[in-house]
């Protein structure tokens, strides 16, 4: 399998090194680390004006435990389509998708929804926070959807908000926080179920350079500590140093 990706060197961050996080997702010492996510032969086409346009063309991809992989490339190169397929939000025309070695592309809609809830966290460009809820309750939502009592969900949400440096803002509404703070809330929400995989779509697009760097430092540190695999779609070359690998897309494949 060749994704034609290039490794990067990345900066170190001391922002959250004081927090001891026990990774749930890391394989045991007796098991060799492998792919959290593996895609093989993924194809996807759309019909536009009566003409089929192939967006993804037999694409292979993988991301391992604790690894951050960035998808880069021009608009229309297939980055967001691939991210949507990896997140089980969109179905490929052909190919196979494995999450922790379980094949997930052929699951029913209900089963796919369950996998998303249990194993995948999402970070969006525009945060997708509920304006009427506090930072704490926004972070707690995924656990309440899993049936956890509200007080337990809030307790874990407060722990995560402390880890992302927002303990003093736990009762603040999104409208009173800066874009960088909102994105840190969104990151805490994505991590609260301890997912195997984080998918981030342009996470710094709405942030200035300083806030974007802070969010990416935090995302990288938490990815490592939680042994979570992270896939980031971005047009922002300023954050490339935070990737372990950069996969550049062009014409439905990797360059």
- pLDDT by residue for the chain (255 residues), tens only, comes to 444 555 555 454 333 332 333 344 544 443 335 789 999 999 999 988 888 889 999 999 999 999 999 999 988 889 999 999 999 999 999 999 999 999 999 999 999 999 999 999 999 888 899 999 999 999 999 999 889 999 999 999 999 999 888 999 999 999 999 999 999 999 999 999 999 999 999 998 888 888 888 889 988 888 888 889 999 999 899 999 999 999 999 888 998
pTM score of the predicted model? 0.84
Tell me the per-residue pLDDT of 181-224, one tens digit each, with 9 for 90 and over: 999 999 999 999 999 999 999 998 888 888 888 889 988 888 88
Cα 196 to Cα 71, 89, 126, 224, distances in angstroms: 18, 16, 23, 12
Q: Which residues pair with 246 in a beta bridge?
A: 6, 70
Q: On the CB side of 23, how many CA atoms lie within 13 Å of its CA?
A: 18
- Dig out the tokens for 29 from the structure: 């010492």
First to last CA, the chain: 14
Confidence at residue 28, expressed as pLDDT on a 0 to 100 scale: 40
Residues 6+ apart with CB under 8 A from 167: 158, 161
Map out the domains of the chain with their CATH numbers. Answer: 37-254 (3.40.50.300)
Contact present, 2 and 242 (Cβ < 8 Å) = no
């Amino acid at each position: 399998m060749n994704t034609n990706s290039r490794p990067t060197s990345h900066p170190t961050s001391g922002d959250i090194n004081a927090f001891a996080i026990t990774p749930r997702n890391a394989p045991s010492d007796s098991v060799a680390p492998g792919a959290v996510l593996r895609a093989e032969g993924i194809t996807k086409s759309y019909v536009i004006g009566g003409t089929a346009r192939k967006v993804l063309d037999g694409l292979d991809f993988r991301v391992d435990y604790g690894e951050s992989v960035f998808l880069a490339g021009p608009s229309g190169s297939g980055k967001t389509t691939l991210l949507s397929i990896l997140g089980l939000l969109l179905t490929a025309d052909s190919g196979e998708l494995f999450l922790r070695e379980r094949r997930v592309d052929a699951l029913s809609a209900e089963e796919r929804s369950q996998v998303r809830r249990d194993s995948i966290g999402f970070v969006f460009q525009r945060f997708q926070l509920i304006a009427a809820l506090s930072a704490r309750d926004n972070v707690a939502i995924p656990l309440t959807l899993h049936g956890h009592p509200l007080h337990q969900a809030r307790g874990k949400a407060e722990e995560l908000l402390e880890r992302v440096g927002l303990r003093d803002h736990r009762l603040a509404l999104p409208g009173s926080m800066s874009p960088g703070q909102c994105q840190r809330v969104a990151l805490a929400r994505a991590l609260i179920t301890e997912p195997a995989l984080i998918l981030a779509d342009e996470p710094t697009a709405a942030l200035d350079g300083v806030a974007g760097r802070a969010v990416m430092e935090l995302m990288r540190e938490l990815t490592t500590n939680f042994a979570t695999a992270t896939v980031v779609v971005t047009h922002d070359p300023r954050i490339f140093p935070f990737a372990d690998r950069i996969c550049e897309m062009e014409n439905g494949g990797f360059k």
